Chain A
Amino acid sequence: MSDRLPPHTDPVPGPAERPPEPHVVHPSLFAVAAGLAVIGAVMLWDSARLSGAAGYSNVGPAMFPRIIGGVLIGLAVWTAISTLRRDFPDPHPSAKGPILWVLAGLTAQLLLLKVAGFSIATGLLFALTARGFGKRNLAVTIPLGIAMAFVIWAVFSQVLMLNLPAGPLERLFFGTTP
C-alpha cells in the first residue's frame, strides 16, 4: 500500500509533515495533559451549579458540559500515558524572543486601542510584529505602521462603514465625529 503514497519531500513544517520520532519524555507534554485536565475539571465544576431544568428530555443544560468535561479528563490521561510510552511526537523547537515581540505588539494594541485610537495602536502592533520577525529599526517601522493603519482606518471606517475606534490622529483628519 505504502509505495503508492506520495513521498514527503516538503522541507517546511507543513501540516501533513510526519512528526519526528520521540526520543525522550518531554515534561511540556505533561503540562499539556494537565491543562486538558484543568479545562475538563472547570467544565464539571461549572455544570454542577446549573439547575436541573431538564424538561421532558431528562437532559438539562448540564449534560453536554459534563460529557465534554469528562472526555477532556479522559483525553488528558490518554495524553499522559501516550507521553510515557513515547508515542507522542516531539514538540517543534521554538524561539522565545520573537514570540514575545509579537505578543507585546498584540498587548500594546489591546491596551491602547480605546485611548490612542485604531491607527496608533495598530501601527504599534505592526512595528512590534515586524520586530519579532527581524526588522529591528522601530524608528522606521512605527511611523510606517501608523501610516498604513491610518489608511486602513480611513478606508474601512469611512467607505465600508466599519465601526473602528478613533483617537487623536483620526480626529485630526476627520473632525471630532468618527
Chain B
Amino acid sequence: MNSFDFLLQGLAAAAQPMLLLYAFIGVLLGTMVGVLPGIGPALTVALLLPVTYGLDPAGSLIMFAGIYYGGMYGGSTTSILLNTPGESASIITALEGNKMARNGRGGPALATAAIGSFIAGLIATLLLAFLAPHIVRLALVFGPREYFALMVLAFVTVSSAFGDSTLRGLTSLFLGLALGCIGIDQLTGQARLSFGLPDLLDGVDVTTLAVGMFAVGEALFVAGQHALDRDQVLPVKGSIWMSRRDWARSWKPWLRGTAIGFPIGAMPAGGAEIGTFLSYSAEKRLTKHPEEFGNGAIEGVAGPEAANNASAAGTLVPLLTLGLPTTATAAIMLAGFQQFGLQPGPLLFATNPTLVWSLIASLLIANLMLVVLNLPLIGLWVKLLTIPKPWLYAGILMFATLGTIGTNPSSFELGMLMGFGLIGYLMRMFHYPVAPIVVGLILGPMAEQQLRRALSISQGDWSVLVQSPVAAVLLTLAALGLIVPLVLRALGKGEVLQAVAADED
C-alpha cells in the first residue's frame, strides 16, 4: 500500500464521531489557550496534557494534534491584535499584522493569517504523509551511531547555531543534559545524581520542566517586569473579509512561505521562527509595494504565517519517523506519546500504523476545523485577549500546578516545578534561551543510550562514530554548526544569526 491508501484509511478512522469530537475539543482548547498573551504552543501543549490523560491513546493523540495546530493559530491572533507575540514564531506577524490592525485592517490581517495557515498546514501535512514512509525506510537502516550523530546535530541547531550567543545557548543545553542524567542509568541500573532521594530515581519529568520553565518562569518574569501595565488590544474594525486585491497579494506569499517553512521544520534545524524570518525577508524583496513594509503590508503577514505553520507540520516529520524532537513543543509531544508507552519512530509505523495514520489524518481535519472556527469566533478570541494580567497569570499558575498534581500528587514534584520556575525566571533575566534546556532533557538520555550502544558494538572503539558515511556527514554538519557561528560572531557578523534567534519553540 502506498501513502495515499494509508492516508485514506487514516481519514476513515479519524472520521469516527468520537474522534472528530476529540479533534474539535483539542482545536478549541488549543486556540483558546494559544490566544492568551504570553502562552506559546509549547506551553499550550504542556498545560493541556493532563486533559488527555483519561482518554485512550488514539483519542488523546488526536486531541493533542488539534491542540498543537490550535495553539499555532491562536498565537497569530494575539500578535496581530495585541503586539505581544504569544510565541516567538509570531514575532514577524506582529510586525506587519499589528500595523495593519492599527490602520483598521485587522480583519484582513487575521483572515490572511488564518487562510495562509490553513493552506500551509494542508500542503505541509500532505508532504508529511508522503515523505514519512520514505524516511521511515531510511531510518530502518540507521544504527545507534547514526542516531547519535543526528542527535548531536539537533543539539547544535537547537542551542548554538542560531540565536545571539553560543555561550548562552550551550549553557542552557548542558543544563538540560545535566538534568537528563538524574535518575536510574538505563544500561546499568545505577542511580545517578539522585542524592538518596527516591523521588529522583525516575528522573526529571519533561512536562514538569517545560511547565516550570514556560509557565512559572514566565509568570515570575512578567510579575517582576511590569505587573501593572495593560497592553492595548486593538479593536477589529470594518470587514473581516479580504478584498480581491488582498487575495491577489496573498496567495503567492502563502505558497512561498510553505516552501520555506516546511523544510526548515523537517530538518533538525531549530524552531519555526527561522522560517518566518526568511519568509519575511523574501517577501520584502519580492514585493511590488516596498513602501508598505513596516506600515502593514499584507504579504508580511501572509508569508511568515504560512511559513510558521508549514514549519510546525515539518517538525512532526523527525518526531514521528525518527522519534527525534527538535523543538520544545515536539519534546512535550514526545512526552505525550510516552505516557501511553508509545515510542514514535520507524517501529511505530510498523506496529501501530492505524494510530500513526489516523493522527496524520486528524491533522488535516484539525486544520480544516480551525479555518472554519477561527474567523467566526474572532469576537470570543478578542475577549480572551482583554483578560487582565492578574487573573490571566493566576489562572495560568492554577492550571500549571494542576497538570503536575494530576500526574504526581506530591509536594516534591510541586517543589521541583517551583525550582524550575525560578531557574526559568533567572534564565529570562540573563537572556538565556529556554528551548535548549527542554530539548536537552529529553534528547540527552536518548543520545547517551545510542552512544553507549554504538560503543558496545564496537567494543569501545570511538572511531566507529565516523566510519559510517551518514554519521560522519551529520557530525561534520554539527561541528560546522558550532564553529561557523562562533567565527561569524567573532568577526562581528553576528547580526544575521541574532535576527534568526531560535528561542522558545
Contact = CB atoms under 8 A, between A and B. Distances in A.
Nearest to A79: B167
Interface in B396-428: 397-399, 401-402, 405-406, 409, 411, 414-415, 417-418, 421-422, 425-426, 428
Interface stretch (B104-112, B182-190, B242-250, B329-337): B182-190
B411 A122 contact: no
Given A55-B456, A103-B418, A148 B430 contact: no
Contacts of B425: 99
Contact of B164 (A2, A19, A64, A106): A19
A133 B227 contact: yes
The main secondary structure of chain B at its interface with chain A is helix
B469 interface: no
A153 B390 CA distance: 21
Contacts of A63: 452
Interface in A17-35: 18-19, 28-29, 32
Given A65-B193, A72-B174, A57 B430 contact: no
A34 B169 CA distance: 18
A163 B225 contact: no
B433 A113 contact: no
A119 to B, nearest CB: 11
A99 B220 contact: yes
B223 A98 contact: yes
A39 interface: yes
Interface in B276-294: 277, 280-281, 284-285, 294
Contacts of B480: none
A53 B188 CA distance: 7
A68 B177 contact: yes
Contacts of A56: 455-456, 459-460
Interface residues of B, number: 90
Contacts of B177: 64, 68
Contacts of A103: 220, 418, 422
B273 A4 contact: no
B8 interface: no
Given A43-B178, A163-B409, A102 B402 contact: no
Q: Is the interface of A mostly helix, strand, loop or mixed?
A: helix
A163 B178 contact: no
Contacts of B499: 2, 5-6, 16
A148 B398 CA distance: 9
B87 to A, nearest CB: 9
Contacts of A58: 455, 459-460
Interface residues of A, number: 90
B433 A5 contact: no
A6 B277 contact: yes
Nearest to A94: B224
B405 A98 contact: no
A90 to B, nearest CB: 9
A43 B88 contact: no
Interface string B164-181: 100100110011011001
Nearest to B40: A15
Given A15-B504, A113-B414, A165 B228 contact: no
A127 B430 CA distance: 28
A116 to B, nearest CB: 13
A77 B370 CA distance: 49
Contact of B85 (A14, A99, A152, A156): A14
Nearest to B409: A165
Interface in B193-245: 193, 195, 216, 219-221, 223-225, 227-228, 231
7 tightest Cβ-Cβ pairs between the two chains A and B? A58-B460, A94-B224, A133-B390, A57-B455, A98-B223, A61-B185, A15-B503
Interface of B: 50-51, 53-54, 83-85, 88, 91-92, 94-95, 164, 167, 170-171, 174-175, 177-178, 181, 185, 187-188, 190, 192-193, 195, 216, 219-221, 223-225, 227-228, 231, 273, 277, 280-281, 284-285, 294, 389-391, 393-395, 397-399, 401-402, 405-406, 409, 411, 414-415, 417-418, 421-422, 425-426, 428-431, 433, 444, 448, 451-453, 455-456, 458-460, 495-496, 498-499, 501, 503-504
Interface of A: 1-2, 4-7, 9-16, 18-19, 28-29, 32, 36, 39, 42-43, 46-47, 50-51, 53-61, 63-65, 68-69, 71-72, 75, 78-79, 82, 88-89, 91-92, 94-96, 98-99, 101-103, 105-107, 109-111, 113-114, 118, 122, 125-127, 129-130, 132-135, 141, 145, 148-149, 152, 156, 160-165
